[in-house]
Amino acid sequence: MGEMVSYRSNGGTSEGYLAIPSGGAASPAVIVIQDWWGLVPHVRSVVDRFAEAGFVALAPDFRHGEPASKPTEPRQMLNSPQMDEAATEIAAAADYLAGRSEVTGKAGCAGFCAGASLALWAATRSERIVATAAFYPRLPWDGMRPEWADYAGKAAIIHCSEADGTSADEGVQTVRRAIETAGGNCQTYDYPGTAHAFFNEDRPENYDQRAAATAWARTLELFRAKLG
């Protein structure tokens, strides 16, 4: 139901996959951040699901049409200036969405794996992003020193798999404390018996239907409460 669009970013042009709800009324926006692999069918399907739930949704294409062929390629991104560039692209995506007539102005950000880490960080890079949802984020970030002060009045949820150490993981707790110290709200949720990527239907060896449905419902609840 979506389409590829272009928008201004980082002094140039970025592309992303955009889906708009039917009905014509202005809606809040959600930015969807890819995991290791790029703008793959799973990420597009999440964008479509957000649109079906009543949000204007956009997934920026950080890899510019070239999905990763192996995890080592995008993992390099976690320890390089590319993470900062990606965060800047997310802020530009929020500005682009705010300028569309279909959007009310506020935005949420949801991400998966490495993209979940970026989604959490995104709220510190754009005043438009007021709610974030992180599905099994890769934490901590070696080589990065994110500042969390801009989380005041904002909210985050972190969906934790058992395989990643649950919410007891020190990286998750460090981020939770930092967000709350900055004046934001952060809820963590554990999904017993789950593997990393339990939300991804395209990975049947990891997918957990019950956990995925619960995490999705909690994410929609947060975004509807915070984005209006």
Q: pLDDT per residue over 135-188, tens digit each?
A: 999 876 665 667 888 899 999 999 999 999 999 999 999 999 999 999 999 999
For residue 24, the model assigns a pLDDT of 82
The values of phi and psi at residue 127, to 5°, are -70, -20
**CA gap 92, 173 in Å, rounded:** 29
Structure tokens at 16: 């992303």
**CA gap 182, 180 in Å, rounded:** 5
For residue 75, the model assigns a pLDDT of 54
**CA gap 141, 213 in Å, rounded:** 28
- Number of other CB atoms surrounding residue 82 within 10 Å: 13
User: Could you say which residues of the chain have pLDDT below 70?
Assistant: 64-81, 140-145
**CA gap 61, 158 in Å, rounded:** 23
CA 225 to chain centre: 17
Q: What is the pTM of this model?
A: 0.93
For residue 67, the model assigns a pLDDT of 56
For residue 66, the model assigns a pLDDT of 60
For residue 218, the model assigns a pLDDT of 98
